[in-house]
Structure 1
Amino acid sequence: MSCFEVQPGWVTTNDERRCFAYFQRCSLPNLGLAFNPSLWRKTVLQIGLVDPAVYHAAIMLGSVHEDSVEKQMRLSGENLHQARHRFALEQASRAYSFLSQRQASQDPQLREVVLVCCLLFLISELLLGRYDKAAHHLQSGLQIIKETQEYQLETSRRSLLLDTTLVETFQKLDVECSHFGPGTPFSANHEPDQDWLGQNAFSDLRNVEDVHNCVTLLMNQGIPFLARCWPLSGVEIAASYGVLSNRQQQLLSLYFQFQERFQMFKDIHYNNIDRLEQRAVDLLQIQCLVQILSLKTCLIKGPIPTRMTPEYLALLSAHELFLAKFSERPSFTLDYGIIPGLWVVASQCPLYSVRIQAIKVLQSWPHAEAFKNSNVAASLALEIIKKELQAEDGRVMSVIDEYADKELAYFLFETLRSTQYSENWSFIRAYNILEQ
């Protein structure tokens, strides 16, 4: 019997077993596609097989995930007229019930159990497009982490140590939520030590994990800065230009320093590492290219200068090469992937033909990467092009209609209108997409 066929040691229904099997076979393998696979293949699965609350939360996710795959990853919200959604709600209720029964427990593992459930609930809400509720689960998880770490410091109780990769996953989601929530991470614990910002910050890249850690530290700084800058008007940027420009240049300098060391690492090690690590390295390289181009342009209001077109072409080419090299196509992952870079090309490149090509790549692989959804990115990019071409009536229809999906657009705008703070998402405000 393979690890994907293991069942818990209590009575379960046929539907529960089937959905848990889907969670094991289809959800788990993709969630940690390139980084931290042990969190999913070991920590979450192992807890789910011994703890009823996590087990039912996993079934809920399996049911929602299966439904999302059938819908080509379209965000449709919760629909209790659908059997899978009703079943998912029932499983969520059972998970909450088991957690409630243990509230007064002194079990040192309870905090980790609650944290895993938070993460599974969060992912399910993202698949449904209920970003407000996902952000609520994220805040709850971060609060558990904060309280546990504070209590551990006060009592020196090592038994309360949380799984490191679980904590790192919440921290990554917190940074990413900057674009989808308050504009800054909920937690303030993302600032690196000042020593890390010195000249030797990237001098010791010995393995892929070292590279990943450096990129994570860089993105922890870059993503919130972009989330802050993109929604600003030209007047607002002008008023704070000195401060913003200094921060922009500091971040770009760090990325350029890192890129030099990263290239040295690739020259020495790339051909000697396995395929999974090569995929991780290529993804990390893409993240750096995306961040650098985004930082270069984040204080530009209005059309991007045509002289920057080659950089957008290079970024699109890097994505296409990656997809040609690695044929795996997960429907959902929490890793940083290809959506941010394709979005940058599709929404900003001075050449519409290049933007359309990026949209086609997004449409060719319906999937989600944590808060980011390829359908949302493609549809919003098309809406931006429509707005920009409104003055050229006939051209709007000829350029757009071939790629537009009216049903998908309906799901998109229903999601945005039902999400309480979607009008404050950084890229929504940047392009005034919801304005009539």
Structure 2
Amino acid sequence: MPQQRPKRQRASTKRSRTGCRTCRVRHLKCDESPTACRNCTSNGWVCDGYEVNRLPRPTEIVKSRPSLPQAPVESGFRWAITPDEKRCVSFFLHRTIPSLTSYYDSSLWQKLVLQMCYSEPAVYHAVVALSAINQDLERNGIPIPGSESGSTWHGFALEQCGRSFGLLSKRHILQDPQLREVLLVCCLLFVMLELVCGRFDDATAHLQSGLAILEELRNQRLLQGLPLVPIEESLLEAFLHLESQAMHHGLVASPLQLEAYSPQFGEASHEFQTLRDVVQVLNPLTDAGFAFLARCWSTPDIEVLERYAELHTEQHQILSALNQFNLDFDRFRKQFHHKHSQKERRGTDTAYLTYLNMKLACKTALCSKNCPLPGSFTRECVELLSVALDAMNKLGERPLMTIDSAICPALFTIAARCPDYSVRWKAIEALWAWPHCEGYLNSRLTADVATEQMKQEMRCIWTEMKMTGSSPPPGLLFETQKGVTSVWIEGAWLSLEPNQELIRSLGTVSSAHSWACVKASGILS
């Protein structure tokens, strides 16, 4: 028999995980010389520096945690990318985009941002940063303000943001005509990153930068006699929606006025043919409703009475427009529901939930904040809770973050205002059960604020009971042990002691005192 040749063994060297970026994208062993490695200097390459934070190897990730997507990243980048960045882009494709489009399909994420990620290095690094944060939060949960993370993922994301900022500065120097759209997409990604990390002040600063760019573009177009801002429609809508949310969180700038995206308060009906048609009419109404609610909730009751005629007129306009929308929307659902895909049906349910919540919130916006709503609103709150829970159950894999806001505001409306405390508690439990962010609405923080507001009302009830000897409201039972009073509600005891962790958390946000929900509840008073 012929003698078998011994198998050739490939020489291998242990690659360093802390080498310079240039050597790692070229798959070379780096000598890690200070400032610039010898590989780069001897070959005439630009040494792209050393990264302090490297992502943990996939084998180092605890198996019980969500696994990274294994599908390869598509080719098409005009620059070399590191293995860590490749993992983040893959995660963005297979996990982050589906999360951001959970309620509705969006050309913003499924087309614009994705295309720019492959063509614009600044957007690419911002995408990698958001994806790294997304992966960390899937493992460790959504934080509340003030709970800084020292994880490797956050450090890696910070370095990626720095790269994005540096590239934007270079583009700015070159006066690139396409710079504005690149800046807007990066601003949007930075806003989302800061929001899911609980850094509301930083998110608002990025948002204001983006709105300033849009305002400058609008003014330029007006001077030229041109009607519209030359920006992708879905990108513009995202900024307008975030702006309406930010008005509840301390944003005091004048709203960006764009005629084409203003709410339609007339009596004209709409012939909706697609879910996109529905959303294009609903979004401006929702944004107008958010702005109206922010003003009402932030204004003391005595001032609401002084401005009642003005506010009531605006309330009537919004409610009339919502009523017309519902008539058109109802025809659309009856005509096209059987033709829709499962996701389109889910989107239709989300739009209906948004309409129901905005109608109830606006109807009660001028009611006193110092006493519960009249019992006549309980039925509408119960209906809204049922629709919200049904929408949650239909989501399947619940997203970590979205820009669209539907479930969080609906549950907060119930949790903060419903006359029936047992219904309010069910809404709070639903918020706790699904930690996520819908733009500025952090479900965990929203639940904590609503709980504190309810506890304040419970303390007033308990004080009155002691003074007058009256009985507690139906479904409530009070008990005091060792100087601590608790209330029995929906099968659980709730201590009426203030949540000091929440107060400390809000204390780390400079704008928290001006948040509409905080001012309405008096938590920091």
Give the TM-score taking structure 2 as reference length.
0.76
Q: Is residue 434–residue 443 contact of structure 2 (8 Å, CA) maintained in 1?
A: yes
Aligned partner of 2:336 in structure 1 is 269
Structure 1 residues 357, 427: closer, same or farther in 2, change over 3 A? same
The residue correspondences of 1:28-427 to structure 2 (distance < 5 A) are: 28-77=97-146, 79=148, 81-152=150-221, 161-182=230-251, 186-189=255-258, 196-200=264-268, 202-301=269-368, 302-391=371-460, 392=462, 394=479, 397-399=486-488, 402=492, 412-427=502-517
The DSSP-based 3-state class of the residue aligned with 1:144 is helix
Please state how far the C-alpha of 1:124 moved relative to its aligned partner: 0.7
Please state how far the C-alpha of 1:410 moved relative to its aligned partner: 6.2
Rounded to whole Å, the distance in 2 between the matches of 1:190 and 1:138 is 20
Per-residue Cα deviation, 1:170-215 (whole angstroms, up to 9, x for no partner): 1111122111123565423378669x43221x23222222211111
Name which of structure 1's ranges 338-347 and 14-23 shifts more when overlaid on structure 2.
14-23
The DSSP-based 3-state class of the residue aligned with 1:267 is helix
**Quick one: which amino acid aligns to residue 155 of structure 2?**
R
The DSSP-based 3-state class of the residue aligned with 1:230 is helix
The DSSP-based 3-state class of the residue aligned with 1:327 is coil
Q: Is residue 31–residue 334 contact of structure 1 (8 Å, CA) maintained in 2?
A: yes
Structure 1 residues 258, 413: closer, same or farther in 2, change over 3 A? same
Matched, 1:8 2:93: no
Per-residue Cα deviation, 1:224-243 (whole angstroms, up to 9, x for no partner): 11110012222111111111
Per-residue Cα deviation, 1:214-269 (whole angstroms, up to 9, x for no partner): 11121132111111001222211111111112221222122112212211221111
> Unaligned regions of 5+ residues in structure 1, if any?
none
Aligned length: 430
Please state how far the C-alpha of 1:77 moved relative to its aligned partner: 4.4
Name which of structure 1's ranges 209-218 and 344-353 shifts more when overlaid on structure 2.
209-218
The DSSP-based 3-state class of the residue aligned with 2:285 is helix
Rounded to whole Å, the distance in 2 between the matches of 1:263 and 1:324 is 22
Give the TM-score taking structure 1 as reference length.
0.90
Rounded to whole Å, the distance in 2 between the matches of 1:128 and 1:430 is 25
Q: Is residue 183–residue 224 contact of structure 1 (8 Å, CA) maintained in 2?
A: no
Per-residue Cα deviation, 1:272-293 (whole angstroms, up to 9, x for no partner): 2222221111111111111111
Rounded to whole Å, the distance in 2 between the matches of 1:295 and 1:430 is 15
Rounded to whole Å, the distance in 1 between the matches of 2:114 and 2:501 is 32
Please state how far the C-alpha of 1:324 moved relative to its aligned partner: 2.8
The DSSP-based 3-state class of the residue aligned with 2:141 is coil
Please state how far the C-alpha of 1:305 moved relative to its aligned partner: 0.6
Name which of structure 1's ranges 68-77 and 354-363 shifts more when overlaid on structure 2.
68-77
Per-residue Cα deviation, 1:103-131 (whole angstroms, up to 9, x for no partner): 12243322211111111111111011111
The residue correspondences of 1:18-29 to structure 2 (distance < 5 A) are: 18-29=87-98
Q: Is residue 403–residue 438 contact of structure 2 (8 Å, CA) maintained in 1?
A: yes
Q: Is residue 486–residue 495 contact of structure 2 (8 Å, CA) maintained in 1?
A: no
Name which of structure 1's ranges 230-239 and 73-82 shifts more when overlaid on structure 2.
73-82
Q: Is residue 106–residue 234 contact of structure 2 (8 Å, CA) maintained in 1?
A: no
Structure 1 residues 186, 257: closer, same or farther in 2, change over 3 A? closer
Per-residue Cα deviation, 1:267-320 (whole angstroms, up to 9, x for no partner): 111122222221111111111111111111111112101121111001101112
Structure 1 residues 10, 365: closer, same or farther in 2, change over 3 A? same
Please state how far the C-alpha of 1:366 moved relative to its aligned partner: 1.0
Name which of structure 1's ranges 367-376 and 149-158 shifts more when overlaid on structure 2.
149-158
Please state how far the C-alpha of 1:349 moved relative to its aligned partner: 0.9
The DSSP-based 3-state class of the residue aligned with 1:329 is coil
Structure 1 residues 140, 7: closer, same or farther in 2, change over 3 A? same
**Quick one: which amino acid aligns to residue 198 of structure 1?**
G
Between the two proteins, what is the percent identity of the paired residues? 34
Structure 1 residues 403, 373: closer, same or farther in 2, change over 3 A? farther
**Quick one: which amino acid aligns to residue 291 of structure 2?**
P
The DSSP-based 3-state class of the residue aligned with 1:25 is helix
The DSSP-based 3-state class of the residue aligned with 1:366 is coil
**Quick one: which amino acid aligns to residue 23 of structure 1?**
F
Rounded to whole Å, the distance in 2 between the matches of 1:4 and 1:350 is 52
The DSSP-based 3-state class of the residue aligned with 2:172 is coil
Q: Is residue 179–residue 426 contact of structure 1 (8 Å, CA) maintained in 2?
A: yes
Name which of structure 1's ranges 358-367 and 81-90 shifts more when overlaid on structure 2.
81-90
Q: Is residue 138–residue 170 contact of structure 1 (8 Å, CA) maintained in 2?
A: yes
Name which of structure 1's ranges 391-400 and 299-308 shifts more when overlaid on structure 2.
391-400
**Quick one: which amino acid aligns to residue 524 of structure 2?**
L
Rounded to whole Å, the distance in 2 between the matches of 1:33 and 1:108 is 33
The DSSP-based 3-state class of the residue aligned with 1:399 is strand
**Quick one: which amino acid aligns to residue 245 of structure 1?**
H
Rounded to whole Å, the distance in 2 between the matches of 1:185 and 1:226 is 16
Q: Is residue 129–residue 415 contact of structure 1 (8 Å, CA) maintained in 2?
A: no
Structure 1 residues 419, 285: closer, same or farther in 2, change over 3 A? same
Rounded to whole Å, the distance in 2 between the matches of 1:249 and 1:283 is 24
Q: Is residue 176–residue 371 contact of structure 1 (8 Å, CA) maintained in 2?
A: yes
Rounded to whole Å, the distance in 1 between the matches of 2:240 and 2:425 is 34
